[in-house]
Structure 1
Amino acid sequence: MSSPFPILDNARHPHESFSAARELEIRLQSAVRGEVRFDAGSRALYATDASNYRQVPIGVVLPSDVADVEATVAACRELGAPVLSRGGGTSLAGQCCNVAVVLDFSKYMRSILTLDAGTRLAKVEPGIVLDRVREAAELHHLTFAPDPATHSRCTLGGMIGNNSCGTHALMGGKTVDNIHSLDVLLYDGTRMTVGATSEEEFQRVIAAGGRPAQIYRGLDRIRKTYAKLVRERFPNIPRRVSGYNLDELLPENGFHIARSLVGSEGTCVTILGATLDLKHSPPCRRLVVVGFEDAFIAADHVPFVLGFHPIGLEGIDTVLTGFMLRKGLAVDDVKLLPPGNGLLLVEFGASSEAEVDAQAEDFLTEVAKLPARPAVRLYSPADAARIWFVRESALGATVFVPGEPHGWEGWEDSAVPPEKLGSYLRQLFALMGEYGYRSPMYGHFGQGCVHLRINFDFESSAGVAKYREFIDRAADIVIAHGGSISGEHGDGQARAALLPKMFGPELMQAFREFKTLWDPGNKMNPGKLIDPVAIYEPTDNLRVGPHEERASESNARETFFQFPDDGGSLSEATLRCVGVGACRKQGPGTMCPSYMVTQEEKHSTRGRAHLLWEMLEGDILPGDWQSEPVREALDLCLSCKACKTECPVNVDVATYKAEFLAHYYQQHRRPLRDYAFGFMDRLAAIASVAPGITPHLANLPLRIPGVSHAVKAVLGIAPQRTLPNFAPRSFQRSRVQGSGLRVQKDKAVLLWPDTWNNYYHPQTLGAADRVLQTAGFDVRVPKGHLCCGRPLYDFGFLTEARVYLERVMSTLATEIDAGLPIVFLEPSCASVFRDELRSFFPTDQRAQRLREQSFLLSDFLVRHAPDYRPPDLSGRSILMHGHCHQKSLMKMSSEVELLRRTGAEVNLLDSGCCGMAGPFGFEKEKFAVSQALAERVLLPAVRSASEETILISDGFSCREQIAQNSVRRAVHFAEVLDAPGSN
């Protein structure tokens, strides 16, 4: 199917009419005050959403306001270009990718315009993220009821386009049930505000004439012509999302034009703004989880549970939780669940603690009487949040599971009457068994909507044909149960071809008339959901299609890293990103630091993974490993490694960045700065040769103003930064063997003299030395200079980084083979042995032993010195900032545990990345981003802390960021254990 706009076709390899594209770009640039992007990198970024589909857009516009949207649509109209609205880009049915001009509202048009607690109405722009609305509404004990698992990044415009639901739709309905009015723009330039329509309002619009009158008359004709069929054929269930909402045009529903447009997936109008109905949010809540023998039996008991009027009723099975445990995802949280292979998460809500406790107790009493004799647990609010995290992590838990074939959407959100859920699931899983498919299940059991991620084979023609046959038969099962083929994620491309089965030919004609009335030229997201000409088949435009149709086979590329979890393939590794968009959140956690500052898709984990995948495919992005769009996207990656664990599918951009740079600089000249920072360990080692003299000379240029400025200019260092000074003597040179403490020779441990603490802050290693000896260990320190090579990865010096690790394994062969534990103080150094070492040497037994024998000081003490007692700090307050690598790869729990044993009040900041990130914060062009990250949480917390508060940060870079932006100095955890008064 060819695009009506003669710029791109919809084949996998688009052919461009550059003159037409350029003309449209020029017109948009002159008319739009926001951003207009027609470059290959931007088009690649928006070629896919969170679905199985991929289509290269004509270009992308980030409008700054409504006037920009109107100007964009006008320019597209003049040249006949299709238009596609996009919010967070997390749609699962392919409705957010098309050969069109994409309008991304999420960067600029993201404000709450008004929020009136009295009328319970909020007016918002389409790019506002749901959680921002909920946070503002909760100040008045109100909420926008629908809350999908993507609530931290999905936008209201996207929710309206998709008719999103979520966990608490049981309490407040779908998005359609919570829309008061919409401000919309038609492709022809008509702007309208629509909502419920009284007879007086209807007559007023008709009398005024023009395009609005034509719309209202047409809608009136549609409702009168098809009212009987709508009442008969539309499933009367909580989760009917498929098709257009013609039922909202019926008299009994108030001829609600705004709600008829909800779920239209951008095929009719562009949403400029929305007025939302807010609902009461019960401030007091209790969560009960009930475990049954299997998920089918759990589904059978949904009607029983609904009789107690919960505000949320979700279900998960143990295939899902088993996948989470295998992936190491929320392991401690999963362990809180009761036994059972099918679990129902039942939440009650009320205005008072007494009332909600009574609800929960009544339910528990009746559950105990059930013949099925399920296991049951009632949770505290803190533990309830952990259980909900398990549920919200479900989508990520179902993909890229070790030892499992890939799971895909494609039949993941059908819905049936809740009382028929058990029957439906049994028949559906019998059909899956017939086809050799399997999937975990989770989702909104209380509304009969269950999510799956089935192991479809999209990489062979036979597998694609099998998939198409399966969904056709699965639709028959849903319809036989009185259900809807989509209960949450919409029709888009994945299910649009199945709609005639569900609605019949007459209602399909009604849908086409509805679409044509709003969009007679078929320029709004054409080919998706409903199209008067032809819709895309579910098997068209597949991102990962049959091998014989793929642009290239990129798995054979030679790489420096081995990618042991991805079959040795970087292409397979980047395919991990399923577009769920957790990296686009704001607030808790660390991922993704640069996106938090720039709000740019290309600076999100998702954006970077998609660009790398496109680069490896090779049909949009030119240049292969020399791709400038990829380099630019990776340039602001801080290599924090948060995505490796916070991303639900463990996308590892830090590793991908190092790999890319290693290849990129095979054909490009490196900046001098790369060598200066990358090989900082060598400079430090040279500076320490003559104790007290060479360090002084090495520091001297940094103290002379003119010279210091010149050095910074040559190296591209931000003038605001102060380069750290070498210590007069390194720890290795100043260490005195034998402190007089009684130690056990059979409890030997190796203390790693990392570059940063050895040459810059030797007092930290000295403190750790004494702490370990106090704990009874024989502390040994390697002789000579050894380095993990951490900075080398930031610049892609991977050949050299591998040599560094080989040298370590050779030099310490005796200690490694003897099983000697190695204790690290610098988290970024420890992470090399936990992460990069395996990526280089996945089958090397010595590398495996080294990895297993590497510990941070806190982890080592908790595991190997259970009787160790830290000093008494009762009455003191401790403020902690965790290093990114420690939080992502090693966690902070051991350190917090030991510090709390001191009797001090410990506050672990949720401060994300400090922004320094090794050399990143020193680079001139990245200084602003570095500072913005530090100012998010860390620096305000440091400035507000009392002088008596002990500031702890184990990362050398983190301590530098604090020191260079405040009068305070943070100390290492080891220093607190060694000298309680130090701050």
Structure 2
Amino acid sequence: MTSPRSANVRPPVLARLAAAGLAADDSPRRLAEYSYDASNYRVPPLAVVFPRSIDDVVAAVAACRDSGTPLVSRGGGTSIAGNAVGPGVVLDFSRHLNRIHRIDEAAGTVSVEPGAVLAELTREVERATGGRASFAPDPSSRSRATVGGAVGNDACGNHSVRYGRTSDHVLELDVVTSDGARLTASAGQLRATDPADAVSAARAAGLTAGLQDLARQHLAAFRTELGRIQRQVSGYQLGHLLPERGFDVARSLVGSEGTCAVVVGARMKIVPKPANALLVCLGYADVVQAARDIPDILAFSPAAVEGSDEAIADTMRFRRGPDAVRGLPGGRAWLYVELDGDEPAAVAAKAQRLLARLRQNGRLLDGRAVPDPAERASLWRVREDGAGLSSRLSTGGESWPGWEDAAVAPEKLADYLDDFRGLLARHGLTGVMYGHFGAGCVHIRITYDLRSEAGRTVFRAFSQEAAELVVRHGGSLSGEHGDGRARSELLPVMYSPTLLAAFAAYRRLWDPAGILNPGLLTDPDPIDAQLALAGVPARQWRTSFDLRPLGAGTEDPAAGSAVDPWVHAVQGCIGVGRCRAPAGGVMCPSYRATRDEKDSTRGRARVLQEMVRGAATEATGWKSKAVREVLDLCLSCKACASDCPTGVDMATYKAEFFDHYYRGRLRPVSHYSLGWLPRWLKLAGAAAPAVNAMLGTPLGRAAAGLGGLSPGRTLPHFAAAGAWRRELAAAGIPPAGRGGAQPPDGVVLFADTFTRGFRPEVAGAAARVLAAAGERAECAAEACCGLTWISTGQLGTARKLLGRAAAALDDGTERPIVVVEPSCAAALRKDLPELVPTDQARRVAARVRSFAAHVRQLAQAGWQPAPARPLPDRVVLQTHCHEYSVFGAGTQRQALAAVGIAEVVDAAGCCGVAGNFGFEREHFAVSMQVAGHALAPALRRTGQDTAVLTDGFSCSLQVRQLAPDRPGLHLAQLLDPGPSAGSGSGR
């Protein structure tokens, strides 16, 4: 990847950082990862530093000051206005400076470092206070956004109607200034953090005098232009310096976007947590009609009033299935109103009064209270994933930020949105709307064409007119995300020259060296400079996978010009960073193990985006060593394809890249030993007893080592050749195709390679379950889904195997193909039509079901199992990542509930084996770290008698590794009625 400097010249700041004992990473791969945040912008830095202490921060600031190098503070990198990218040195606080020091419930405070993740802070506060208190700011990115980022942008969140902005919760900020002073800002004073530090004390006194003088000179402007609406985030919050507001220096720094000082610590308020909350969901014809009811809703003192339009809900269903959005009432736009209080009955009664009032208004189409926690979680997930879901829509269209953050007074929101829709229409644009309707702040993703010069001209003209429009409505250019690179140039539309001059003076008082986050707020860069989609060369990238987006093909609806499918795919990541969440969902297991940006889905995507820019130094394009490095710890779990709001499928991108990267060069030996596993299984099955006996000997371990396998990995035993046939024959399941024409009903049971080679008893159990359910079942002809070749990037062989599988399974019927192994089911459902883009392949893929999905359907149709052994009341569930991604996150759990298992201990996360990954010598340690995130704790929390459900073969191996005396069971084994189930003759 290209560096922002000549490859032969190292900037002086790197030598200064090294002299200070700081490890500055200036590798092309690292610079690629940190060239982006969640905005439209790309600004390559010179180096990235991960400070471990405040002394490290002071040293980094000194190195930048002495060399005249810009410095950018960064937390989770989720900034949408381009606030967290910049030239020079990036300080990433999220790796190490992320501790929560003290929670004082009596004082109502918490002391925290800037890299602490907001959701983790909230959990710790609630845990420490027994649920009596919480931390209030809750932006939708809170699972990865940090305290420092929230302070930098003055973030708000879903509950800002009740709790306001981050600035309303800041008591004190510890900062380092560009001249090296360590100061503490609070209400009424600015002092040296260490009273014995005379230099910092002198700096505090001088800065205090300067700030007081600035406020005296601009009393009128501060009083009349600032603080006019709840969400006026644009510019600096200098109204807090007014004498009547207590000269609150800390709060004046909130929202300064890292341009004044480096925040290294904070004392924040915590708030009482209501005992009961109830969500009321309201359906409207459109967002304008919804906005007109906001004043009446606010009269009921809600804790949250959030909104979303139909495009986001449709995309959620399209990407994650029809059950992904539950509980929405009728309409094309929705409001989520949260009411709370001490007594559940009183909250419920208030909800009914609210509904009655809104029905009386006549705009509400449908509305209901949502007491069910699962439905509430589903609805909030739609809102919280809005930024990602709106960027890649179900129609195939794209939308982008840039003007997603304006705010007006809530009572003016409807008129503003009505006018705004007219502005969009005049420019031929479409806006996808969601956000904080109760606070008058609506996020709007817009179908700009940022790839072409003509489209960027429209972007600039539209942004100027949008700024003028929101100011006419008395609003703010930014209501939460800050001005950043997206709106700073437009501040003269909103503020007078006098106030803009005060902003510049305020910044100079803090940072006379002018090194902190340049290009934002004062002396800003143009809003259309450094756009990430500009300058990407037109090129055709030949791929094995058919990566054309569904809905709109390869046409970019904004640009009206063809976008190469590979480029379109890897540019799907817009940086929202959900893959960096330490908990919730399944992605990204390697990031959760290492907490390194390079091991996140986002980090990998950003390096791939640099690849398609033609930016390469060590090797070009498909031979890029930086891309190979960043993909190394990708487990190919496919969880990102489901959990990522934009649908990034890094497992597919990795397979595609490996296929090209290793052409003409020697592969890792594990690509032959594990990638060719189905071939070796045929040989091993013929001599299974001898092979199994050898595995535990020094000779067997040596052979495994030569095959690239880890000596620490417990190896599975091979099944004897033909064992799976005997199992199916005993269950009365004939081979498919035997006896002429295929019956139109019943099912095809697909016994995959892993089941045939390692777990033939599972095939027998599955056959007996189907027979007991009255299913007319036949066994599929021997075929292979090519999974091991896909995961190792040997796509030529995979394509041939999948083509043969499609031919064998396309029998002219619509019978479901029930696949025992979920990873093979996922390969046949998703990879088959992408690698073999034929009608035949698509017909077969549409028929494929995982075993759990089929059981769920049987049970929902009225069948109840009668297993030979009583069903357990409680199970540990390890859902295979591929099943989670392709067939739905709740498939296994819903199947268990449908057959009557009451309690499920969900090991919600990847097991860590993930096919070949966990067997490979160089990946074994990370594999076990991944297992330690969810699976190992779930096993420890449950007793020896609790069954462990592992439909995935790799998952069962990890359970065997962690708990040898607790074998993982397939759902078919749990439901197995035993030998007397029946002959499978049909129903």
Amino acid of the structure 1 residue aligned with 2:350: Q
The 10-residue stretch of structure 1 (601-610 or 557-566) with the greater mean CA deviation from structure 2 = 557-566
1:836 aligns with 2:836: no
1:170 matched to which residue of 2? 161
Q: Partners in 1 of 2:928 and 2:879 — Cα distance?
A: 17
2:845 aligned with 1:845: no
Which residue pairs with 1:131 in the alignment? Answer: 119
**Secondary structure at 1:678 match in 2:** coil
Cα drift, residue 324 of structure 1: 3.2
Instruction: Please give the secondary structure, in 2, of the residue aligned with 1:441.
Output: strand
Contact 1:263 1:490 in 2 (8 A): yes
Calculate the aligned-residue CA RMSD, in Å: 2.6
Q: Rate the CA distance shift 1:136–1:460 in 2: closer, same or farther, 3 A.
A: same
The one-letter amino acid paired with 1:107 is R
Pick aligned residue for 2:669 from 659, 668, 672: 672
Deviations 1:886-913 (A, max 9, x none): 1111136454444335443240514200
What one-letter code is carried by the residue in structure 1 that aligns with 2:906? L
Q: Distance in 2 between matches of 1:516 and 1:897?
A: 59
Change (3 A) 1:248 1:370: same
Instruction: Answer with 968-977 or 867-876: which moved more.
Output: 867-876
Of 647, 651, 657, which aligns to 2:648?
A: 651
Indicate conservation of the 8 Å contact 2:803/2:841, yes or no.
no
The equivalent residue for 1:553 is 538
After TM superposition, give the deviation of residue 14 of structure 1 in Å. Answer: 6.0
Write the letter of the residue equivalent to 1:607.
G
Corresponding residue of 1:147: 138
Deviation at 1:867, TM superposition (A): 4.7
Equivalent position of 1:721 in the other structure: 713
Q: State the SS of the aligned residue for 1:777.
A: coil
Alpha-carbon distance between aligned partners in 2 of 1:89 and 1:493, rounded to the nearest angstrom? 14
Q: How many Å apart are 1:527 and its aligned residue? A: 1.3
Q: Which of 589, 595, 600 is the aligned partner of 2:596?
A: 600
Match of 1:854 among 843, 848, 867: 848
Match of 2:529 among 515, 526, 540: 540
- For the structure 1 residues 509 and 746, does the alpha-carbon distance in structure 2 shift closer, same or farther, using more than 3 Å as the test? closer
Checking the alignment, whether the CA contact within 8 Å between 1:162 and 1:489 is kept in structure 2 is: yes
Amino acid at match of 1:619: A
Is this contact kept in 2: 1:37–1:61, CA < 8 A? yes
Q: 5 Å matches for 1:20-31?
A: 21=10, 23-31=12-20
Q: 1:160 aligns with which of 151, 158, 168?
A: 151
Q: Which moved more, 1:655-664 or 1:278-287?
A: 278-287
Whether the aligned pair in 2 keeps the contact of 1:742 and 1:773 (CA below 8 Å) is no
**Aligned equivalent of 2:173, options 165, 182, 193:** 182
Q: CA offsets, 1:357-401, max 9 Å, x none?
A: 343243234334324354220111502222211211211221122
SS in 2 for 1:349: strand
C-alpha separation between the residues in 2 aligned to 1:645 and 1:742?
Answer: 36
- Give the equivalent residue in structure 2 for 1:366: 357
Question: Which residue of 1 is the match for residue 573 of structure 2?
Answer: 577
Partner of 1:462: 454
Matched, 1:477 2:473: no
Q: How many correspondences in the alignment?
A: 951
Distance across 1 between alignment mates of 2:108 and 2:474: 34
Q: Which residue of 916, 920, 935 corresponds with 1:919?
A: 916
Q: Deviations over 1:870-889 (max 9, x none)?
A: 11636632322111111111
> CA 1:758/1:575 → structure 2, altered by over 3 Å: closer, same or farther?
same
2:86 paired with 1:86: no
Using a 3 Å threshold, how does the CA distance of structure 1 residues 405 and 852 change in structure 2: closer, same or farther? closer
Identity %, equivalent residues:
38
Equivalent residue number for residue 220 of structure 2 = 228
SS of aligned partner of 2:331: coil
Native 8 Å contact 2:43 2:87 kept in 1? yes
Measure the CA separation in 1 of the matches of 2:521 and 2:975. 63
Residue 407 of structure 1 pairs with residue 399 of structure 2: yes
TM alignment of 1:751-766, pairs within 5 A = 751-766=749-764
Question: What are the equivalent positions in structure 2 for 1:619-630 lying under 5 Å apart?
Answer: 619-620=615-616, 622-623=618-619, 624-630=621-627
Separation of aligned partners in 2, 1:888 and 1:317? 25
Question: What is the 5 A alignment of 1:894-973?
Answer: 895-966=892-963, 967-973=965-971
Name whichever of 770-779 and 926-935 sits farther off. Answer: 770-779
AA at the equivalent of 2:711: P
Looking at structure 2, the residues matched to 373 and 59 of structure 1 have their Cα atoms a distance apart, in angstroms, of: 53
TM-superposed deviation, 1:860: 2.8
Task: Tell whether 2:788 aligns with 1:798.
Answer: no
User: How many angstroms apart in 1 are the aligned matches of 2:664 and 2:192?
Assistant: 67
Residue 243 (structure 1) aligned to one of 227, 232, 235: 235
Conservation of the 8 A alpha-carbon contact between 1:314 and 1:443 = yes
1:20-43 per-residue CA deviation (whole Å, 9 max, x = no partner) reads 63543233234245x420111101
Tell me what 1:71 maps to: 59
The match for 1:749 is 747
Cα deviation digits, residues 52-93 of structure 1 (max 9, x gap): 111110110011111111111111222111100001111111
Counterpart in the other structure of 2:347? 356
State the alpha-carbon separation in 2 of the partners of residues 276 and 884 from structure 1.
Answer: 38
SS of the residue corresponding to residue 155 of structure 2 reads: coil
Deviation at 1:820?
4.1
Q: 1:288: Cα distance to partner?
A: 1.1
CA distance in 2, matches of 1:653, 1:893: 21
| Aligned position for 1:879 | 876
Q: 1:860 and 1:475, CA in 2 relative to 1: closer, same or farther beyond 3 A?
A: same
Pairwise CA distance, 1:603: 0.7
Amino acid paired to 2:966: R
The counterpart of 1:497, out of the listed 450, 467, 489, is 489
Q: Which of 537, 542, 548 is equivalent to 1:564?
A: 548
**Alignment check: 8 A CA contact 2:311 2:390 kept:** no
CA deviations on 1:907-953 (whole Å, 9 max, x unpaired) are 05142000011121111221111111212221232244333322211
- Whether the 8 Å CA contact 2:638–2:650 is kept in 1: the answer is yes
- Alpha-carbon distance in structure 2 between the residues aligned to 1:742 and 1:659: 37
**Structure 1 residue 978 displacement after superposition:** 1.0
For residue 244 of structure 1, what is the amino acid of its counterpart?
Answer: Y
State the shift of 1:474 in Å.
Answer: 1.2
Kept in 1, the 8 Å contact 2:37–2:82? The answer is yes
Aligned AA (1:155): T
Q: Deviations over 1:749-792 (max 9, x none)?
A: 33222121112111000111222222333433345x53211111
How far apart are 1:408 and its partner, in Å? 0.9
1:119 aligns with 2:116: no
TM-score normalized by the length of structure 2: 0.92
Letter of the aligned partner of 1:665 in structure 2?
Answer: Y
CA distance in 1 between partners of 2:320 and 2:862 (Å): 30
What does residue range 521-540 of structure 1 map to in structure 2 within 5 Å? 521-531=513-523, 535-540=524-529
Q: Distance in 2 between matches of 1:574 and 1:187?
A: 37
Partners of 2:842 and 2:685 in 1: how far apart? 32
Answer yes or no: is 1:289 the counterpart of 2:281: yes
SS state of the match for residue 159, structure 1? Answer: helix
- CA gap 1:13/1:176 in 2 versus in 1, 3 angstroms: same
Deviates more, 1:788-797 or 1:218-227: 788-797
| 8 Å Cα contact 1:287/1:345 also seen in 2 | yes
Counterpart contact for 1:883–1:958, Cα < 8 Å: yes
The Cα of 1:513 is off from its aligned counterpart by 0.3
Q: Distance in 1 between matches of 2:260 and 2:719?
A: 67
In structure 2, C-alpha distance between the alignment counterparts of 1:968 and 1:209, rounded to whole Å? 63
Matched, 1:825 2:817: no
Partner of 1:7: none
User: Could you tell me how far apart the structure 2 residues matched to 1:323 and 1:746 are?
Assistant: 34
User: Once the 2 structures are TM-superposed, how far is the Cα of residue 200 of structure 1 from its aligned partner?
Assistant: 11
**Cα separation, 2, equivalents of 1:841 and 1:760:** 28
Q: Flag the 1:341–1:898 CA change in 2: closer, same or farther, 3 A.
A: closer
Contact 1:880 1:906 in 2 (8 A): no
SS of 1:255 mapped into structure 2: coil
Amino acid at match of 1:717: L
